[in-house]
Amino acid sequence: MSMNYRLADMFAQIRNGQQARLDRATVQASKLLGNVLEVLKKEGFIRDYRKTEKDKKPVYEIDLKYHEGERVIKEIVCISKPGRRVYCEISKLPKYYNGLGIAILSTSKGVMSDFDARVANVGGEVLCSVF
């Protein structure tokens, strides 16, 4: 199976895992996915993740998070896609769900949440929004 966009595949794995009430989701590893998972962990949307090997290929095992039986990630949406990249200046970056949700940006200073990007005063490619 060929994957054109691993980020969208990871989000689909997380969504499907949470709908099925699984404890863990597994995705192929890449540096970008590791950085996005670090932001999701820091912001409290997942419990943890770790890099392991499956069939001699590196994978991330993501521990999904639930609160009182409800999934923590209500919505996770790709904004930038391979056919349409979305870039935004920090002054024009909207707040998602009145600040309850976050956007994950790929900036010149690394992958970070919209709050951290505002503090660092850097814009970049808007990868996704999470609520």
Tell me how many domains the chain contains: 2
User: Looking at the domain assignment, is residue 36 inside a domain?
Assistant: yes
pLDDT of 34: 97
Characterize 4-20 residue by residue with b for buried, 16 or more Cβ atoms within 10 angstroms of its Cβ, and e for exposed.
eeebbebbebbbebbee
pLDDT of 101: 96
Q: What is the mean pLDDT of residues 54-74?
A: 96
pLDDT of residue 111 exceeding 80: yes
**Cβ(98)–Cβ(46) below 8 Å:** no
Range of the domain at 11: 6-71
Domain harbouring 31, CATH code: 3.30.1370.30
pLDDT tens-digit readout, 35-48 = 999 999 999 999 99
Q: Are residues 53 and 81 in the same domain?
A: no
Q: What is the mean pLDDT of residues 16-31?
A: 96
User: Looking at the domain assignment, is residue 35 inside a domain?
Assistant: yes
User: Looking at the domain assignment, is residue 1 inside a domain?
Assistant: no
Q: In which band, very low, low, confident or very high, does the pLDDT at 99 lie, cut at 50, 70 and 90?
A: confident
